[in-house]
Amino acid sequence: MNDIPKFVFNCTDCKKCCERDVSIYLEDMNDWMEHGLLYKVLPHLSIEGEYVSLFIKLDKQTLDDKSICALYDIEKQECTLLDNKPISCRSYPLGYNGKHFIVVDKDCPGLGNGEMTAEKLAAMRETARAEFSSKQETLKLLPMLHAMFIKKFTIESQKAMEEMSPEQKEELEKILSEKKE
């Protein structure tokens, strides 16, 4: 007999998932560019982590002493992206680790709620697989992109320093030494 409980999930619109850290992948940004939505999201994206383990996440805003996703419309009480939510939101609370499906939030109120059709389960599994794939691709490419941007900014800074007059360099040194103190 199989003791593994059957996965049943139906969203209750509790918005608990909007309180978590929302991961963003390059595929999400591609999707938003194609749908003309990147302008809504870009101001709320942050890159965090260290060089080899960088990740992109959505910033948060405060609602009733809680931190909640910056893309959550407080007045309308819904995501501003609606049909173009990040893949990590669309797959929630189901995850995939490359071998097995996992529940990423066992306290999600939608778990065990109602019934689950085979079609809906298949769609959720496909979305969880797609999230895993997007995450792997982003984790692979983001450090290279980061290094390229750092190199570009370093070269531009060096050029700007070379073009400064001696007076401008002296003024910059003065400002920087004041900040150290």
Q: Is the pLDDT of residue 31 over 60?
A: yes
159 is a domain residue:
yes
Q: What is the pLDDT of residues 96-142, one digit of tens each?
A: 999 999 999 999 999 999 899 999 999 999 999 999 999 999 999 99
Q: Residue for token digits 């490359």? A: 98
Q: Is the pLDDT of residue 175 over 50?
A: yes
φ, ψ of residue 47 in degrees (nearest 5): -105, 130
User: What total of structural domains would you count in the chain?
Assistant: 2
Confidence tier at 176 by pLDDT (50, 70, 90): confident
76 is a domain residue:
yes
7 is a domain residue:
no
Domain check: are 79 and 59 in the same one? yes
The predicted model gives 26-30 an average pLDDT of 96
pLDDT (0 to 100) of residue 51: 74
3 is a domain residue:
no
Confidence tier at 1 by pLDDT (50, 70, 90): very low
6 is a domain residue:
no
Domain check: are 101 and 159 in the same one? no
Domain check: are 67 and 132 in the same one? yes
Domain check: are 27 and 73 in the same one? yes
Confidence tier at 2 by pLDDT (50, 70, 90): low
Q: What is the pLDDT of residues 137-156, one digit of tens each?
A: 999 999 999 999 999 999 99
Domain check: are 127 and 65 in the same one? yes
Domain check: are 60 and 107 in the same one? yes
Mean pLDDT (the chain) is: 91
Domain check: are 134 and 154 in the same one? no
φ, ψ of residue 62 in degrees (nearest 5): -105, 135
Instruction: Write the burial class of residue 178 (CB in 10 Å: 0-12 exposed, 13-18 middle, 19+ buried).
Output: exposed
* Joined tokens for residue 174: 């003065």
DSSP the chain: ---SPPP-B------GGGGS--EE-HHHHHHHHHTT-HHHHGGGEEEES-GGG-EEEE-EEEETTEEEETTEETTTTEETTGGG--HHHHHTTEEE-SSSEEES-TT-TTBT-S---HHHHHHHHHHHHHHHHHHHHHHHHHHHHHHHHHHHHHHHHHHHHHTS-HHHHHHHHHHHHHHH-
Domain check: are 175 and 89 in the same one? no
pLDDT (0 to 100) of residue 4: 54
Q: Is the pLDDT of residue 13 over 60?
A: yes
CB within 8 A of 39, min separation 6: which ones? none
91 is a domain residue:
yes
Confidence tier at 80 by pLDDT (50, 70, 90): very high
Structure pTM?
Answer: 0.81
CB 71 within 8 A of CB 21: no
Domain check: are 153 and 128 in the same one? no
Q: What is the span of the domain harbouring residue 63?
A: 16-139
Domain check: are 122 and 153 in the same one? no
Domain check: are 38 and 121 in the same one? yes
The predicted model gives 40-59 an average pLDDT of 91
Q: Is the pLDDT of residue 35 over 70?
A: yes
Domain check: are 127 and 151 in the same one? no
1 is a domain residue:
no
